[in-house]
Amino acid sequence: MKFQRQTSGSIACPTCRQLVNIQVPRCPHCGRRNPGLWGYARTVQSLGTDLGFLPFVTWGCLGLYALTLVVNIPGIRPTGGMDIMAPDGSSLFLFGATGAIPIFALGRWWTLLSAAWLHGGLLHVGFNLAWIRFLAPAVARFYGGSRLYLIYTLSAIASSGLTSIVGAFFPDIPILSLILGNVLGGGASFSIGASGGLFGLFGAIITYGQRTRDPSLTQTVLIWAALGFVLGLLFPGVDNWGHLGGFLGGFLVTKLPWFDPERKLGHKDFLIAIACAVGSILSVLFSPIHALLLPLLLSL
């Protein structure tokens, strides 16, 4: 794919698919502003319905998983059930693990996003990516590729935020700790994984089923999400608060008018999708820079 700008000719409007001149400020058929996307409409359309979301997430997670292994090869755990081929904890912290300690003790707030790109083992990354590849096309079809990026990003942030808050303050609330701690655990001191964004996709599809009055879709996906929660309760080391935060994030954010499937997508949605992708990349890139400078910062 070449990112080549088109300066003349016609393109299909991204919203109504009618042919329009590349330079018109507004589609005469549906009223969409800037249908030519500054001359890059054909390039964007070549990315597919999901705007390249699946390859972006897939290769991003796999690439970072490989990188966390390579930076500390002696620390790799080659065996251990769900932890098979697990990177060393220091490698995960280096590239942006989140949780109560990174956020509240060390001030690494950007890890709310970077942690969604890290994984703690071969089965961990494989399971998450398999489900994302199954759910993301449906979310893109229901809400559009631009909003898929935003739903996933906000769900990942909600996931990291809830588990970090619970991990930091849950022990100070004895009644809640006694009631919920035995079921969901006590939040995470350190947390990684794309499962928060994944559960956000569950929540988004359930909202779509409610909006379109499709009970079969709502019930089916609700069962899948419930099964995911139950499996999380059965296996040790699973961040159940992160799953809950991601699910609530995806479910609640898609209740907003911005995510109404009847609302036509515009260039603002596309710019927001770019911002989500760039923000994710920057959060991961900044994490090792900050980690390497952290001893100096703490000594000041």
Count how many domains the chain has: 2
Does residue 191 sit in the same domain as residue 137? Answer: yes
Query: Residue 171: which domain range?
Result: 53-299
Q: Does residue 110 share a domain with residue 252? A: yes
Tell me how far CA of residue 114 lies from CA of 96, 170, 288, in angstroms: 5, 23, 11
% of the chain surpassing 70 pLDDT: 85
- 201-254 confidence digits (pLDDT tens): 999 999 999 999 999 999 999 999 999 988 888 877 788 899 999 999 999 999
- Residue 290, pLDDT > 70, answer yes
pLDDT at 15 over 80: no
What average pLDDT score do residues 123-146 get? 95
**Are 26 and 64 in a shared domain?**
no
- Does residue 280 share a domain with residue 180? yes
Q: Decide: residue 245, CB within 10 A, 0-12 exposed, 13-18 middle, 19+ buried.
A: buried
Residue 293's φ and ψ, nearest 5 degrees, are -90, -10
Rounded-to-5 percentages of helix, strand, coil across the chain:
65, 5, 30
Neighbours of 292 (CB within 10 A): 10
For residue 3, tell me if it sits in a domain.
Answer: no
Residue 5 lies in a domain: no
CATH of the domain at 274: 1.20.1540.10
Are residue 37 and residue 111 in the same domain, yes or no?
Answer: no
Q: Is residue 259 part of a domain?
A: yes
Instruction: Give pLDDT tens digits for 40-81.
Output: 667 666 677 888 999 999 999 999 999 999 998 887 777 666
Collect all residues with Cβ–Cβ distance below 8 Å to 93 and sequence separation of at least 6.
102, 190, 291
Shared domain check, 211 and 146: yes
> Do 60 and 25 belong to one domain?
no
Averaged over 184-209, what is the pLDDT? 90
Mean pLDDT of 23-34: 76
Residue written as token pair 């995911």? 228
Helices (H), 170-190: 174-184
pLDDT at residue 173 greater than cutoff 60: no
Per-residue pLDDT, 77: 76
Task: Determine the residue type at 185.
Answer: G
